[in-house]
Amino acid sequence: MTTSRVPGLLALSIAGCASHLPTWTSGQIGCPVDEVVITNEDTVWSTRTWTARCRGKTYSCSEHSEGQANAHVACKENRDEALEAPPTVCQFDTQCRGNRQCRDGQCVAPAPPASASPADSP
């Protein structure tokens, strides 16, 4: 193997491992793989850390490798963030039932129509 190929192979092996993060995270937090969003991935020596979001919750996760066959994964919910903001349920009005509207990530009943003021009456 020539040295010019080593960086390319290293990049491929790192990218291949990154695709496992949603699966590993799903097993730790009990959320479906297709709903897990991974951000802030960082690797230092044999430890990888990342942030995962699913269903309005945020988790700090880590994986420590002890050789190719032994990887220990752990995730912990960021409770401080969960207390600060209510979970986002919607992004668009179409995600809410009936005539409810999406306001600040929550489905709410629409505001009642403004009543006619006495000045508007004939």
Boundaries of every domain in the chain: 7-77, 83-111
pLDDT of residue 41: 87
The token pair at 66 is: 């002890």
pLDDT of residue 45: 79
Q: pLDDT tens string for the chain (122 positions)? A: 444 443 333 333 344 445 688 888 888 898 899 999 988 888 887 888 899 999 989 999 988 877 666 778 889 998 875 444 555 567 788 888 788 888 888 888 888 877 655 555 55
pLDDT of residue 42: 84
pLDDT of residue 5: 40
Q: If we measure between CA atoms, which residue out of 117, 98, 120 comes closest to residue 107? A: 98
Q: How many CB atoms lie within 10 A of CB 105?
A: 13
3-state class (DSSP) for residue 50: strand
pLDDT of residue 14: 40
**The dihedral of CA 80, 85, 86, 89: what is its sign?**
negative
3-state class (DSSP) for residue 62: strand
Q: Give Cα 113 distance to the centre of its chain.
A: 37
pLDDT of residue 59: 93
Four-CA torsion 75, 79, 84, 88, nearest 10 degrees = 50
